[in-house]
Amino acid sequence: MRRLYFHSLLSRAVTEPAPTPDERALAELGASLRARARARLGRSLAIREVDAGSCNGCELEIHALNNAFYDLERFGIRFVASPRHADVLLVTGPVTRNMAFALKRAFDCTPDPKWVVAAGDCACGRGLFAPSYALEGEDGAVARVLPVDLHIPGCPPTPVDLLRGLLALLEAADGRIPHAACPTC
The yes or no reply on residue 132 touching another protein (CB under 8 A) is: yes
Rounded to an integer, what distance in angstroms lies between the CA atom of residue 63 and that of residue 159? 9
The yes or no reply on residue 158 touching another protein (CB under 8 A) is: yes
The yes or no reply on residue 133 touching another protein (CB under 8 A) is: yes
Helix (H) or strand (E) segment spanning residue 165: helix 159-173
**Where does this chain touch another protein (CB under 8 A) — which range of 23-31, 35-43, 95-103, 168-176?**
95-103
The yes or no reply on residue 66 touching another protein (CB under 8 A) is: yes
The yes or no reply on residue 145 touching another protein (CB under 8 A) is: no
Decide: 166 and 33 in contact? Cβ < 8 Å: no
**Where does this chain touch another protein (CB under 8 A) — which range of 17-25, 134-142, 162-170, 177-185?**
134-142
The yes or no reply on residue 4 touching another protein (CB under 8 A) is: yes
- Strand pairing category for 77-79 and 150-152: unpaired
SS (H, E, C) 88-144: EEEEECCCEHHHHHHHHHHHHHCCCCCEEEEECCCCCCCCCCCCCCCEHHHCCCHHH
Of 50 and 170, CB closest to another protein: 50
Of 69, 73, 84, 180, the one binding another protein (CB under 8 A) is 69
Of 21, 30, 125, 140, the one binding another protein (CB under 8 A) is 140
Rounded to an integer, what distance in angstroms lies between the CA atom of residue 174 and that of residue 96? 33
Q: Rounded to the nearest 5°, which phi and psi values hold at 91?
A: -110, 130
Rounded to an integer, what distance in angstroms lies between the CA atom of residue 131 and that of residue 135? 8
Residue type, 146: L
The yes or no reply on residue 139 touching another protein (CB under 8 A) is: no
The yes or no reply on residue 99 touching another protein (CB under 8 A) is: yes
Of 41, 54, 115, 171, the one binding another protein (CB under 8 A) is 54
Interacting residue ranges for another protein, rule: CB under 8 A: 1, 3-5, 7, 14, 49-64, 66-69, 79, 81-82, 94, 96-102, 106, 128-129, 131-135, 140, 155-156, 158
